[in-house]
């Protein structure tokens, strides 16, 4: 066991964790940033709603800038996955299976993992914008295109309705084979959404997505939005009894503290809007709250 008690262990180095680590280092705290290296932001071909980047920024470039800022203030980083978090009198013990770290407080910035459809070439399609994963982020870029929203039938119309702000040509594609009842069909008519029953076969061809229905009908989409949910990486906190919402995201108070004292959560793993600006806002609030709860570090 390390003798070296950390003020704070930050788990996860996406926008949330890197920002929290930068704040804590600038508060002259003794911290460590542990990261498994799979930020959701790496998928972003170009973000156009990230404050301060009027001409857009690629996710990997943005992450590199966040990392450089953390490096500038000497944030120690370790590439590993924390697999266990336990309590002890003075705080928490984290383990990656081989090593242990003790920390007075922990900030979880572990994000979510998207549930993706099985489509060959998906990664490239995300890179070129044929498949998009976040309508709040980039529906503006898909305006006036033929857009398909792939989701469980009962949820698909609601998600498709969001896209109607951006295009007249929006299809709700059922990811399952449950039928739409008359009320759902009426809702779709009211919103100007076309229904495309499942199950689907989806292929990527020439920069477009081709959907084939069970009866063999074909639909060419400029953009596909799969909305199949995401798994919040909240297991470490859940094992300590932290409260979760109905989707497994962490419930937090106004200072981003979970229901476990000393355990904070920020970014996508929290029950909130999954956006970079939200993640960095969470980080600022949580890091400041952590600094205030720790013993004074007067110079
Ligand atoms: C295709 C796409 C486009 C997007 N476009 C935009 C956009 O334009 N604008 C916008 O605001 N947002 C956008 N987003 C959303 C944005 O990427 C997320 O909101 C943001 O990355 C959340 O940051 P985070 O730090 O909470 O989580 P992440 O960036 O996901 O980082 C979490 C980190 O924690 C690590 N981790 C998880 N568990 C552990 C563990 N047990 N131990 C150690 N490390 C762990 C992961 O490996 C990862 O590195 C987009 C997302 C996608 C997928």
Domains of the chain: 6-113+229-293 (3.50.50.60), 116-226 (3.50.50.60)
- Ligand 1 centroid, distance to 15 Cα (angstroms): 7
Whether the pLDDT of residue 1 is over 50: the answer is no
Helix H, strand E, coil C: the string for the chain is CCCCCEEEEEECCCHHHHHHHHHHHHCCCCEEEEECCCCHHHHCCCECCCCCCCCCECHHHHHHHHHHHHHHCCCCEEECCCCEEEEECCEEEEECCCCEEEEEEEEECCCEEECCCCCCCHHHHHHHCCECCCHHHHHHHHCCCCEEEEECHHHHHHHHHHHCCCCCCEEEEECCCCCCCHHHHHHHHHHCEEEECCCCEEEEECCEEEEECCCCCEEEECEEEECCCEEECCHHHHCCCCCECCCCCECCCCCCECCCCCEEECHHHECCCCCHHHHHHHHHHHHHHHHHHCCCCCC
Sort strands 100-108 and 91-95 into parallel, antiparallel or unpaired.
Answer: antiparallel
pLDDT, average across residues 145-164: 97
Nearest C-alpha neighbor of 196 from the set 222, 164, 170: 170
Q: How many CA atoms lie within 13 A of 281 on its CB side?
A: 12
**Tell me: the pLDDT tens digits for 196-212?**
988 779 999 989 999 99
Percent of the chain with pLDDT over 90: 93
What pLDDT is stored for residue 216 in this prediction?
A: 85
Residues in contact with ligand 1 by the CB-under-6-Å rule are: 11-17, 34-41, 43-44, 47, 49-50, 81-82, 109-111, 114, 126, 133-134, 137-138, 233, 236, 267-268, 274-277, 279
Q: Which atom of ligand 1 is nearest to the CA of 15?
A: 25
What pLDDT is stored for residue 3 in this prediction?
A: 52
> What would the two tokens of residue 256 be?
């981003």
Whether the pLDDT of residue 175 is over 90: the answer is yes
Best of 51, 123, 134, 230 to mutate for ligand 1, by most ligand atoms within 8 A of CB? 134
Cis peptide before 59 (omega within 30 of 0): no
Q: How far is CA 236 from the centre of its chain?
A: 17
- Ligand 1 centroid, distance to 268 Cα (angstroms): 7
CA distance 158 to 155: 6
**Tell me: the pLDDT tens digits for 27-76?**
999 999 999 999 999 999 999 999 999 999 999 999 999 999 999 999 99
pLDDT, average across residues 17-34: 98
Best of 38, 84, 107, 111 to mutate for ligand 1, by most ligand atoms within 8 A of CB? 111
**Tell me: the pLDDT tens digits for 222-243?**
999 999 999 999 999 999 999 9
* Average pLDDT score over the chain: 96
Best of 39, 70, 124, 130 to mutate for ligand 1, by most ligand atoms within 8 A of CB? 39
Whether the pLDDT of residue 134 is over 60: the answer is yes
Q: Which atom of ligand 1 is nearest to the CA of 42?
A: 17
Q: Are 163 and 191 in contact (CB under 8 A)?
A: no
Whether the pLDDT of residue 17 is over 80: the answer is yes
Q: Which atom of ligand 1 is nearest to the CA of 48?
A: 8
What pLDDT is stored for residue 210 in this prediction?
A: 96
Best of 77, 83, 137, 138 to mutate for ligand 1, by most ligand atoms within 8 A of CB? 137
Whether the pLDDT of residue 105 is over 50: the answer is yes
Q: How many degrees, rounded to 5, is the angle at CA 198 between CA 196 and CA 200?
A: 95
């Amino acid at each position: 066991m390390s003798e070296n008690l950390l003020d704070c262990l930050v788990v996860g180095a996406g926008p949330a964790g890197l920002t929290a680590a930068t704040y804590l280092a600038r508060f002259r705290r003794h911290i460590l940033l542990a990261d498994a290296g799979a930020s959701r932001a790496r998928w972003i071909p170009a973000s156009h709603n990230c404050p301060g980047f009027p001409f857009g920024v690629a996710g990997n470039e943005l992450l590199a800038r966040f990392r450089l800022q953390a490096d500038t203030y000497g944030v120690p980083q370790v590439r590993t996955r924390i697999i266990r978090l336990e309590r002890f009198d003075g705080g928490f013990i984290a383990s990656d299976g081989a090593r242990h770290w003790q920390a007075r407080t922990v900030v979880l910035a572990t994000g979510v993992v998207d549930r993706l459809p099985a489509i060959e070439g998906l990664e490239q399609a995300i890179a070129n914008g044929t498949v998009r994963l976040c309508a709040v982020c980039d529906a503006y870029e898909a305006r006036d295109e033929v857009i398909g929203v792939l989701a469980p039938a009962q949820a698909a119309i609601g998600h498709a309705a969001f896209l109607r702000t951006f295009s007249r040509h929006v299809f709700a594609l059922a990811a399952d084979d449950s039928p739409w009842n008359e009320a759902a069909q009426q809702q779709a008519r009211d919103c100007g959404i076309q229904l495309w029953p499942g199950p689907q076969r989806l292929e990527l061809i020439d920069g477009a997505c081709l959907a084939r229905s069970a009866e063999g009908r074909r639909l060419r989409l400029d953009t596909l939005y799969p909305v199949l949910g995401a798994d919040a990486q909240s297991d470490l906190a859940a094992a300590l009894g932290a409260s979760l919402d109905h989707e497994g995201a962490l419930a937090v108070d106004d200072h981003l503290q979970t229901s476990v004292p000393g355990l904070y959560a920020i970014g996508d793993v929290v029950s909130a809007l999954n956006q970079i600006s939200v993640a960095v806002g969470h980080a600022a609030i949580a890091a400041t709250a952590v600094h205030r709860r720790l013993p004074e570090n007067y110079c």
